[in-house]
Structure formats: structure tokens, C-alpha cells
Amino acid sequence: MDSKHGRTLPADPWSISLTYHHEHLWWYGPDDAPERWHISADILDDSGHPESHVGDIQIVIVDIDETGDPSDLLDGESGILVTSRESYSGLAAASWTPDLDDQLEVFGGRVLILDTVRLAREWRGLGLGVLLAGTAIKKLSADARFAACYPAPLDDNPDPAQDETQDGSAARRKAIAALGRT
């Protein structure tokens, strides 16, 4: 039982395992495509096979020292990355100022963009998404200058049954407020 949220957890969160997956064509270079990572969070059985799925995380990495035009490289990616690309243009321009470089303690050229974090419904609302995303970012952050994300609720059509309004707008506002606190 989770005393803070007053509900029974689907499984022991200490049993969650993160599996990292990345693939690319052997001849791809830094200007051909961003580095895309999929991280699967699962509860594994005794033999190491997934017993239940907790969630998925998508992280995109761009090396701004190796890529000719990082903003152009992100063109055509997911909607969240398009927004990040637009924000990234400003960050990229600002990142070369001495003030921002001093704040970032620059030592690398990779930029991590947290694209999505999606948890299975039974795992939502427990603060677990932030912990899993943070763990994945830390794991992939070698030689990273900074990590960025555009926090927004992912459900395009929230479940109106869980909300007091027909269109789910109160649930969406609640999700945005929770992401803002994160």
C-alpha cells in the first residue's frame, strides 16, 4: 500500500528493471539522424523475462559539436521534439554565450532531449515517471552539455470519466500542474 496516495501498488517498484535499446545503420553519421533511445521499464520474472510492463521512455541525443545543424537534424521528429527544436534553436544560440556556458559547466557536446515518458495506467500518479526518467537521463548523460524536455500531458483525449468536465480539461490542468511541480 502506498500511504501517500492511498492505493495498492501493482508490484514492488524496487523490482523495476530498465532496458535500453538503440539501433542505427552502421554508416550513419551525426548529420544523418539523431541518436534515439527507447527505454523499457518492466517487472521481470525470476528468469529475467518481462512479467509486467511499467512504462516507456524515449530520449533523443544530438551532438552539437559533431552535427552541422542540430535544429535541422530534429526537423521531422515527433511534435514534442519539434517544440524542443524550436526551443533548442534559442538554447543553441544562447549556449555559446559565456554566461550560459559558465552556468552549464560545459564539458561535452551532447544534448539529451527527453521526448516522452509513458507509464501504464496503474503506475501513474505515484511520482515514478520522474524517477525513471531521471535514472535514464543519468545513464545516458556521459559527455552531455545539458538535458532538455518540454513537459506536457501526453494523452490527447483524456478519459472524461475521470474528470468532472465533458472534455477532460480539468484532468489536463491537473496533469500540467503536476508536471510543473516536477
What grid cell was written down for 102? 559558465
- Alpha-carbon radius of gyration of the chain: 18
pLDDT at 93: 46
pLDDT digits (tens, 9 = 90+) for 134-165: 999 999 988 887 777 766 665 544 454 454 55
CA–CA gap between residue 142 and residue 11 (Å, rounded): 31
Is the CB of residue 136 less than 8 Å from the CB of residue 54? no
> Given a cut of 50, is residue 25 above it in pLDDT?
yes
Contact by Cβ (8 Å): 37, 21 = yes
CA atoms within 13 A on the CB side of 70: 25
- pLDDT bracket for residue 31 (50, 70, 90): confident
CB-based contacts of 93, cutoff 8 Å, min separation 6: none
The set of cell numbers assigned to 5 is: 496516495
The answer to pTM > 0.85 is: no
Alpha helices in 13-168 (DSSP H): 70-73, 79-95, 98-104, 128-140
